[in-house]
Amino acid sequence: MNRLELPESDWRRVSPKLIVVELLGGAIFLIAMVVAGIAMYLLHIWWIAAAIGVVAIVAIVNLALTRRRVRSIGYQLRDDDLLFRRGIMWQRFVAVPYGRMQLVDINRGPLARSLGLSELKFVTAAAAAGVTIPGLPEAEAEELRDHLVSVAESRRAGL
């Protein structure tokens, strides 16, 4: 018996624009690795060039999995908590009780901001329970933040 039986239709997904952000960030990293690898090769520092080559291969695999990885990110607003999931092979499910939320923060990097996306971060007393939901449209992130803050305040007050 599976303890976490959740209907697939209740998950809210992040924006598909997050794929663009992730691909561009990964491509910039890959280009930097290729340039550094070529420089090390030309300087005859073979072992560093080989290590950079391995990192570049891992970056290429990561880029290939980006679309699927972004589609695996989702969250549910339940009665007592927010449930967050992410991951393809190593799935992570985190339930953050509303009454335990201490801080709800919105971050916007330059690339994500140019596409109208935000990142919502929840901080609780337990450091391991911190959750970050990337790729939310700005309006949705602000609405979700306001909702979570009001629910968290009422739960802490015992209402």
Going by C-alpha positions, the residue among 84, 94, 93, 90 that lies closest to residue 134 is 84
Q: Quick one: 11 exposed, middle or buried, by C-beta within 10 A (0-12, 13-18, 19+)?
A: middle
What pLDDT does 157 receive? Answer: 65
What pLDDT does 98 receive? Answer: 85
Q: Quick one: 23 exposed, middle or buried, by C-beta within 10 A (0-12, 13-18, 19+)?
A: middle
Average pLDDT, the chain: 88
Torsions phi, psi for 44 (to 5 deg): 60, 35
CATH class (in words) of the domain with range 74-156: mainly beta
Residue 129 has pLDDT above 80, yes or no: no
CA–centroid distance for 37 within its chain:
29
Residue 4 has pLDDT above 60, yes or no: no
Q: What is the pLDDT of residues 69-124, one digit of tens each?
A: 999 999 999 988 889 999 988 898 888 888 888 888 999 999 999 999 999 998 88
Categorize the per-residue pLDDT at 154 as very low, low, confident or very high, splitting at 50, 70 and 90. Answer: confident
Q: For the chain, what are the domain ranges?
A: 14-70, 74-156
Going by C-alpha positions, the residue among 28, 22, 33 that lies closest to residue 57 is 33
Residue 30 has pLDDT above 70, yes or no: yes
What pLDDT does 127 receive? Answer: 62
